[in-house]
Homo-oligomer: A and B are copies of this chain.
Amino acid sequence: MRLDVAFLPEEAGTLRGRVAVVVDVLRATTSLLTILERGCAEVLIAPTVEAARRFAHAHPDLLLAGEERGRAPAGFDFGNSPVAFARAELEGRRMVFSTTNGTRAIRLAREASTVLLGCLRNCSAVARGGLAAAGGEEEVCVVCAGREGRFSLDDAYTAGALVDALLAEAGGNPLVLTDAALAAQALHRSTADAAALFRRTGAGRNVMEIGLSEDLDYCAQRDTSALVPEVGDRVRVAG
C-alpha cells in the first residue's frame, strides 16, 4: 500500500479511490475533534464565513463557529479555539463551522473514498481508522491544509506523526512511502517537543499573538482521544 503526504491540498492530485486524512492541527481539525468529543450532534463545514452566517440565519438552532485571521468573526458564537470548545456545552447541538484553511482542505478532499480528520490528539486512532478504511488496497494520503497556500510546518510535522503511526499500526504489511511521506517522517523524528515546534511556526506565532498560547499546548498533546471524525458521519460538507 502506498502512503503519501500532500503538503498543500492542491498537491494531492485526484483523491478518488484513495483514503484522505485531512490535517489542520493549528487549529481546525483539533477543534473539530474536540467539538465532537463534547457531544455535538452534527457539524456542517461551510465554504466561507459569509456562507456560515447565511446558514445560521436560516437555521437559528445552529451554533456558529470559525475564524478569520485567527479570531471569531462578528456575531459568531465561537472562534476556533479547541480549549474554548473543550469547556463548552455542546451535547446534542448542531453547528456550522468555517475557517481559513482547514475547511477549505476538507472541501477539496471530499472526493476521496473516505475522509478522516487527523491531529496529534487522535493520531494513533486515525492511523488505525485509515488502515481499516483502506483495507490494504487503497492508497492513504495525508492532506495538509497549509496556510494561505503556503507550506505549514505544524501540519507537516503532524503528517509525519501520522506516517509513523500508520507504520506502527500496519505491523508487517509493507507501506511504500513517497518523497513527501519520507520528508514528513523525518520532520516528525526531528523533535518530540511538538509544543515548542508549534511556537516557531507562522500559525503558532499567530495564535500566541492573539493570546491563545494555551491552544498550542492542547494541540500538541498526543493520543488523548480514540475518536476518528469522518466526513459524511457527524461532519458534513454543506453548500
Say what secondary structure dominates the interface of chain A. helix
Min C-beta distance of A65 to chain B, whole Å: 26
Q: Chain A, interface size: which category? A: 20 to 34
Is A123 an interface residue when CB atoms closer than 8 A count as contact? Answer: no
Is A95 an interface residue when CB atoms closer than 8 A count as contact? Answer: no
- This chain's copy number in the assembly: 2
**What string of 1s and 0s marks CB contacts (under 8 Å) between A11-47 and chain B?**
1000000000000000000000000000000000000
Given contacts A179-B202, A202-B178, contact A150 B186 (CB under 8 A): no
Q: How far is the CA of A153 from the CA of B154 in the complex (A)?
A: 18
**What string of 1s and 0s marks CB contacts (under 8 Å) between A145-180 and chain B?**
001011111101000000000000000000000111
Q: How far is the CA of A202 from the CA of B178 in the complex (A)?
A: 7
Q: How far is the CA of A191 from the CA of B189 in the complex (A)?
A: 11
CB contact between A147 and one of B5, B179, B200 (< 8 Å): that residue: B179
Q: How far is the CA of A189 from the CA of B183 in the complex (A)?
A: 12
Is A187 an interface residue when CB atoms closer than 8 A count as contact? Answer: yes
**What string of 1s and 0s marks CB contacts (under 8 Å) between A193-232 and chain B?**
0000000111100000000000000000000000000000
Is A182 an interface residue when CB atoms closer than 8 A count as contact? Answer: yes
**In the complex, which residues of chain B have a beta carbon less than 8 angstroms from the beta carbon of A151?**
5, 7, 11, 178-180, 183
Given contacts A11-B8, A150-B11, A190-B190, contact A156 B183 (CB under 8 A): yes
The contact sample of 13 A-B pairs, CB cut-off 8 A, is A150-B179, A150-B180, A151-B183, A153-B179, A156-B183, A179-B203, A182-B200, A182-B201, A183-B183, A183-B187, A186-B191, A189-B190, A190-B190
